Amino acid sequence: MKNEDFRRAGHQFVDWIADYFENMEKYPVLSRLEPGDIKKMIPAVPPARGEAIEGIFRDFERVLLPGVSHWQHPGWFGYFPANNSPASVLGELLTAGLGAQCMVWQTSPAAAELEEVVLDWLRQMIGLPAGLSGVIQDTASTATLCALLSAREKATGFESNETGLRIPLTVYASDEVHSSVDKGVKIAGFGKKSFRRIPTDGRFALIPEKLEEALVRDGEAGFVPACVVATVGTTSSGAIDPLRPIGEICRKHGVWLHVDAAWAGTAALLPEKRWILDGVELADSFVFNPHKWMVTNFDCSAYFVRDPATLVRTFEIHPEYLKTGVDAKVKNYRDWGIQLGRRFRALKLWFVVRSYGVEGLQAMVREHLRLAALVRDWVEGDGRFELLAPVELGLVCFRLNDGRDEGALNELNLRLLERINAAGPVFLTHTTLRGKYTIRLVVGQRTTEERHVRGAWDVVTAAAADVLKA
Amino acid sequence: MKNEDFRRAGHQFVDWIADYFENMEKYPVLSRLEPGDIKKMIPAVPPARGEAIEGIFRDFERVLLPGVSHWQHPGWFGYFPANNSPASVLGELLTAGLGAQCMVWQTSPAAAELEEVVLDWLRQMIGLPAGLSGVIQDTASTATLCALLSAREKATGFESNETGLRIPLTVYASDEVHSSVDKGVKIAGFGKKSFRRIPTDGRFALIPEKLEEALVRDGEAGFVPACVVATVGTTSSGAIDPLRPIGEICRKHGVWLHVDAAWAGTAALLPEKRWILDGVELADSFVFNPHKWMVTNFDCSAYFVRDPATLVRTFEIHPEYLKTGVDAKVKNYRDWGIQLGRRFRALKLWFVVRSYGVEGLQAMVREHLRLAALVRDWVEGDGRFELLAPVELGLVCFRLNDGRDEGALNELNLRLLERINAAGPVFLTHTTLRGKYTIRLVVGQRTTEERHVRGAWDVVTAAAADVLKA
């Protein structure tokens, strides 16, 4: 492709994205295609000859776009959000253009030092204690794995890196914890049987007393408790594990405390919500994802540690071909995680924070919380519905409940969700809470306004009337 | 940011990137800044108020750009390349604009199915056997970790996921293998002491007989050999481990064979270089990085496995909140690796392959190999220099050798490399081979032409004259 063709196509693509942002509501939120629909539209063999960008782009619109689910749609209320923003897209564009691979300081000093500074901005923005060091990971799954590995090494005096895990370490989290911890305990070699699921209270938050009982019981049985994962904003219900009592228990028993605030960390931008992190100064590591709710496009997960030396010692490698003359004076982030290669991800984050300012980001989050509270009020005000968890932040968990038995209620609400999502303008997802099929509505898209939330509720109530009638 | 501001800034950024591509040679390849230079230019506290994109962009140019090392510079001969291309940047732009998080099929069917098809294109393009299944990972470090974990689970009948690793598994690779394997054996819980480094021959390739001796010796000593990592194109010298005899040994002993062709895999685009993968049909897993040498901007690592069921069983998680109605009918790539969240990375790869066509990519690689052979000839034709490894592909390893003792030669060549890189228009890196300080010159940047390679050699010879005189 000639440079002038890149220029022309680039302008066209930027305009297409701007139009896409403007016209998003014309699309159904979720792709309507069936499995295999895309595959059969794409040739099974690669093209021998290159072709002009115009044809490729036409196929992007014709073949691929119908298969895209529109995460940036204001009617996206599913999972957790992964919102982007114009500023973030622009930052990512420059990152792609520069094409710098930022594994060590030397391979782009700006990437290493901007990452250090902008992560410290984030630390301040959500009220984390001074002295924590930050690094960008791709996802919270990876960050939590880093925490589990650091805890493993700390608990074994760095012996498991040498010999494998020879002593029976144990890991603790609430029974509402995210599946990334299940995955992490397998990867890091603890084994699933080492993972203790601690009961939760009526708000689905970990019960500290139950945690301490488990730690004591395991200690007496010859296990070595290595790591507790506390969640601020669980995926199923948005529950807030109480960090302070959990942290005090961890300190008392010498156990690593990792805090997973992947989604909810962004809410701590608001002084009035900072209570969710009360006690976070007792944590050894902490993760939240600007790529979820802080308009920084995926992937960008912010991982903070109290003691970077432990993290680096867990991962460090020293091949000759990676040594540089300044290694003693700089941070080489290659040793702060699993991957060697690194994208210049701090750039989009810097664009976002400067473009919005802290107050701009706060305003967005505050509005999302107001809208979620509206939905909560509507659920509570309609006798057909039942709220299934406290609404602490932007997630509302509810179901229809007309008194039929639990199995039938689960069937009914599954049908309800299918009907809601079949309509097109909104997308919600589900979970189970104490065995109850639960519909989740998360407010968190950048462009979601009150009219979208009202529209979503109209879809929900119309679908409810239908399934109750059927 | 208003949409019209995004549009205007987007056009401006595209033009900036086009200009950057055109004017790259005006920059020194490597940033000239000192540690701390960037940090002191960035405010230590985040901005309270948002600001216009123009000011942010001005600071990008003024503050950050001097701290960028220019990986896309035609004078970049260091490490391995991480080349991008206009087509790839355009694909990444659309990915950022769509902002789709592609963890499961439903969250963007186009991403899941395009990934499946385009990875099969890659499989065909480099001559991998039919029946392999592909998935995009971020880096080869991650892919190799996936292989180690799959091998661990296969060797223990999936028991280590349950109980942790209870039996003494061992891992094998050449003494020239990449540090990602050192990192992986730690993360996966094998422990460094389980990692056997097999001696290499005069071409720095693993000696199959030594591998078999080690497997037998370990088996007799009660160890359970779990995984062999063979490298096609080692980082230090570009050595090609012989896959066929290694694969036959692995089959005979029932050991997982993972092939790391992160850099060199792209050379297999050329029929005349396909011999480097001879025997690859004996591998259980294989990785190569389109983000290194195939003009797909970082990150995009292609991981292929013979038996996806083993991979999925190693990683799978089934939380209720991720279940969808089509799970039985589709590939949910969340279970094909470590991370849950996934970017729509297949898009840029599709842009690249369609824009270049297989023949276009072949032409670029073939030219790079021709240029590397030129450098090899110049090294061999100049009595002051010594070639330190065979030039199989695009990497030339050399040093000055005027007969002084080895320690002094290492000093001399360290000074030589410093002087080469101080000049500005080229960047080379180093390694050690059998204790010898070795200068590496890799031809692999998209825009590198014969004049750049000639210019680089001029820099090398001028610097050599200087350090020999001093």
pLDDT in tens, B216-243: 999 999 999 999 999 999 999 999 999 9
Quickly tell me which residue has 């940090």 as its tokens. Answer: B39
Q: In terms of Cα–Cα distance, which of A21, A75, A87, A83 is closest to A448?
A: A75
Chain A positions touching B187 (Cβ under 8 A) are 145, 149, 187-188, 315, 338
Chain A positions touching B389 (Cβ under 8 A) are none
Q: Inter-chain contact A94–B13, Cβ cutoff 8 Å?
A: yes
Chain B positions touching A330 (Cβ under 8 A) are 35
Q: Can the peptide bond before residue B299 be classed as cis, meaning omega within 30 degrees of 0?
A: yes
- Using CB atoms, which residue from A96, A165, A317 is nearest to B93? A96
Q: Is the pTM of this model over 0.90?
A: yes
Q: Inter-chain contact B139–A235, Cβ cutoff 8 Å?
A: no
Chain B positions touching A21 (Cβ under 8 A) are 3, 6, 97
- Amino acid B135: pLDDT: 98
d(CA A385, CA A439): 11
Q: What average pLDDT does this structure show over A330-343?
A: 95
Asked if A322 and A209 sit in the same domain, the reply is yes
Amino acid at A78: G
Amino acid at B47: P
DSSP character string of B387-425? E-S---SSEEEEEE--S--HHHHHHHHHHHHHHHHHHSS
Domain limit, last residue, from A280, A311, A343 = A343
* pLDDT above 70 coverage of chain B, percent: 100
Asked if A246 and A114 sit in the same domain, the reply is yes
**Predicted confidence band at A98 (pLDDT cuts at 50, 70, 90)?**
very high
Distance from CA of A26 to the nearest CA of B (A): 14
- Amino acid A58: pLDDT: 98
Chain B positions touching A341 (Cβ under 8 A) are 82, 138-139, 141, 291, 298-299
Q: Inter-chain contact A10–B17, Cβ cutoff 8 Å?
A: yes
Q: What average pLDDT does this structure show over A125-141?
A: 97
Asked if A327 and A374 sit in the same domain, the reply is no
pLDDT in tens, B9-44: 999 999 999 999 999 999 999 999 999 999 999 999
Q: Are the CB atoms for B395 and B372 separated by under 8 Å?
A: yes
pLDDT in tens, B324-358: 999 999 999 999 999 999 999 999 999 999 999 99
Distance from CA of B463 to the nearest CA of A (A): 18
Chain A positions touching B92 (Cβ under 8 A) are 92-93, 96
Give me the CATH number covering residue A24. Answer: 1.20.1340.10
Q: How far apart, in Å, do the first and last CA atoms of chain A sit?
A: 58
DSSP character string of A66-93? GG---TTSTTB-SSS-----HHHHHHHH
Residue A77 lies in a domain: no
Asked if A369 and A336 sit in the same domain, the reply is no
Chain B positions touching A98 (Cβ under 8 A) are 20, 68, 70-72
Give me the CATH number covering residue A454. Answer: 3.90.1150.10
Chain B positions touching A431 (Cβ under 8 A) are 319-321
- Using CB atoms, which residue from B51, B340, B354 is nearest to A354? B51
Q: Are the CB atoms for A303 and A137 separated by under 8 Å?
A: yes
DSSP character string of A303-319? EEES-HHHHHHHH----
Alpha helices in A230-384 (DSSP H): 243-253, 290-293, 308-315, 346-381
- Amino acid A239: pLDDT: 98
Asked if B338 and B377 sit in the same domain, the reply is no
Asked if B68 and B118 sit in the same domain, the reply is no
Asked if B263 and B402 sit in the same domain, the reply is no
d(CA A54, CA A60): 10
Q: Inter-chain contact B355–A22, Cβ cutoff 8 Å?
A: no
d(CA B266, CA A355): 40
- Using CB atoms, which residue from B3, B168, B298 is nearest to A99? B298
Q: Inter-chain contact A97–B13, Cβ cutoff 8 Å?
A: yes
Residue B234 lies in a domain: yes
- Torsions phi, psi of B228, nearest 5? -115, 130
Q: Inter-chain contact B353–A101, Cβ cutoff 8 Å?
A: no
What is chain A's mean pLDDT, rounded?
Answer: 97
Count of CB atoms situated within 10 Å of the CB of A208 = 20
d(CA A346, CA A109): 12
**Predicted confidence band at A465 (pLDDT cuts at 50, 70, 90)?**
very high
Quickly tell me which residue has 């799978």 as its tokens. Answer: B316
Contacts of B22 (CB under 8 A, 6+ apart): A3
Q: Inter-chain contact A117–B329, Cβ cutoff 8 Å?
A: no
- Amino acid B470: pLDDT: 85
Q: Inter-chain contact A100–B68, Cβ cutoff 8 Å?
A: yes
Residue A85 lies in a domain: no
Count of domains forming chain A: 3
Which string of b and e fits A340-371 if b means at least 16 CB within 10 Å? bbbbbbbbbbbbbbbbbbbebbbebbeebbeb
Count of CB atoms situated within 10 Å of the CB of B61 = 10
Strands (E), B146-300: 169-174, 195-198, 224-231, 256-260, 285-288
Q: Inter-chain contact B50–A356, Cβ cutoff 8 Å?
A: yes
What is chain B's mean pLDDT, rounded?
Answer: 97
- Amino acid A470: pLDDT: 85
Nearest chain B Cα to A110, which residue?
B67
Domain limit, last residue, from B283, B311, B343 = B343
Distance from CA of B103 to the nearest CA of A (A): 11
Distance from CA of A281 to the nearest CA of B (A): 20
ipTM of the complex model? 0.97
Asked if A270 and A165 sit in the same domain, the reply is yes
Q: Inter-chain contact B48–A357, Cβ cutoff 8 Å?
A: yes
Give me the CATH number covering residue A303. Answer: 3.40.640.10
Which string of b and e fits A19-41 if b means at least 16 CB within 10 Å? ebbeebeebbbbbebebebbbeb
Which string of b and e fits B277-287 if b means at least 16 CB within 10 Å? bebbbbbbbbb
Q: Are the CB atoms for B430 and B439 separated by under 8 Å?
A: yes
Residue A88 lies in a domain: no
Lowest mean pLDDT among A222-236, A310-324, B280-294: A310-324
Distance from CA of B265 to the nearest CA of A (A): 17
Q: At residue B212, does pLDDT exceed 90? A: yes
Q: Inter-chain contact A162–B193, Cβ cutoff 8 Å?
A: yes
Quote the tokens at residue B111.
């991403």
- Amino acid A329: pLDDT: 92
Residue B92 lies in a domain: no
Q: Inter-chain contact A93–B179, Cβ cutoff 8 Å?
A: no
Quickly tell me which residue has 């991650």 as its tokens. Answer: B142
Residue A379 lies in a domain: yes
Domain limit, last residue, from A287, A309, A343 = A343
Q: Which domain holds residue B14?
A: 3-79
Q: In terms of Cα–Cα distance, which of A445, A297, A429, A422 is closest to A31?
A: A422
Q: Inter-chain contact B88–A109, Cβ cutoff 8 Å?
A: no
Chain A positions touching B29 (Cβ under 8 A) are none
SS3 B224: strand
pLDDT in tens, B379-407: 999 999 999 999 999 999 999 999 999 99
Query: How far, CA to CA in Å, does A140 sit from each of A114, A178, A258, A290, B261?
Result: 21, 10, 11, 10, 28
Query: How far, CA to CA in Å, does B78 sit from each of A61, B299, B364, B423?
Result: 38, 18, 18, 14
Q: At residue A445, does pLDDT exceed 90? A: yes
Quote the tokens at residue A393.
């932040």
Residue A317 lies in a domain: yes
Asked if A180 and A308 sit in the same domain, the reply is yes
Residue A81 lies in a domain: no
Asked if B220 and B297 sit in the same domain, the reply is yes
pLDDT in tens, A358-378: 999 999 999 999 999 999 999
CA A23 to chain centre: 26
- Amino acid B297: pLDDT: 96
Entry field: residues in chain A: 470
Asked if A320 and A461 sit in the same domain, the reply is no
Q: What average pLDDT does this structure show over A212-223?
A: 98
Q: What average pLDDT does this structure show over A185-195?
A: 97
Find which of A295, A321, A340 to mutate to test the B interface (most B CBs within 10 Å of its CB). A321
Asked if B195 and B304 sit in the same domain, the reply is yes
